[in-house]
Amino acid sequence: MNQTGKTKNMIVTTMFMALTVVMMFTPLGTLRLPVVSVTIAHIPTIVAALVLGLKQGIMVSLSFALTSMFIAIISPTSVLDPFFANPLISVLPRVLIPVTTYYVSRLFKKDSKVGIMVSTLLGNLTNTFGVYTMLYLIYAQAILEQSGNSAVSLIIGAISTSTLIKSVIVVLIVTPTVMALRRVIKK
C-alpha cells in the first residue's frame, strides 16, 4: 500500500473509532425496543475488520472496549455495569470481535454476501458470549451477592432476550454497509 493509501486507511480507522465513542456516549449506540435495549456500538468494529482489515478492526475495538470500561467506572447504571471496570470483562472479549470477524470472513470469497453475514453474526456473538462468559467466570459469586440472583439466571436472561434481536439488527446494518464501502473503496 502506498503512502496515500496508508493515510486514507488511517483516517477511515480514526473515523470509525470516533463513531464508536459517539455511539457509546449517545443513544445511537443502543436501540431501545419495547422489551429490551440492544447495544450496537460494536458495529464499527465489525465493519472496520471487514473493510479495512484485522489491525484496523482491533484499533476500533479498543476504542469500544476502553470507552465501555471508562463508562463503567464513571457512571454505572445496571447491576452488571461495575464489573465492566475490569478489562477482562470490558476489553478482552471486545478485542476478539474483529479477530473472529476477520478470520471467518477469510473463509469466504472476498465479496460474498453470505460471508459478510456469517462473519458479522459470529463477530457479534463473540462479543455477547465473550462478555457473559468472563462475567460468569470471574464474578459469579459477586453477582449473586449484589443482585440476589444467580449469575447463570441473570446471564441466560440477558442472552435470551436480546441476542437474537441484536444479531438480526447487526447483520442487517453491517451487510449493506460493508458491501457499499467495499464498492466505494474499489473505485
Residue with cell 464474578: 139
Determine the average pLDDT of the residues in 113-135.
95
- Residue 36: how many CA atoms within 13 Å on its side-chain side? 14
Helix (H, G, I), strand (E, B) or coil at 87: helix
Distance CA(146)–CA(138), nearest Å, equals 14
Instruction: Supply the pLDDT for residue 81.
Output: 82
Residue with cell 460494536: 42
- Residue 11: how many CA atoms within 13 Å on its side-chain side? 6
Distance CA(46)–CA(138), nearest Å, equals 26
Distance CA(65)–CA(151), nearest Å, equals 22
Determine the average pLDDT of the residues in 62-80.
89
Instruction: Supply the pLDDT for residue 145.
Output: 83
Is residue 161 scored above 80 in pLDDT? no
- Cβ atoms of residues 90 and 69 within 8 Å: yes
Q: pLDDT, tens digit, for every residue of 89-103?
A: 999 999 999 999 999
Residue ranges and CATH numbers for the domains of the chain are: 3-186 (1.10.1760.20)
User: Chain-wide mean pLDDT for the chain?
Assistant: 90
Instruction: Supply the pLDDT for residue 115.
Output: 97
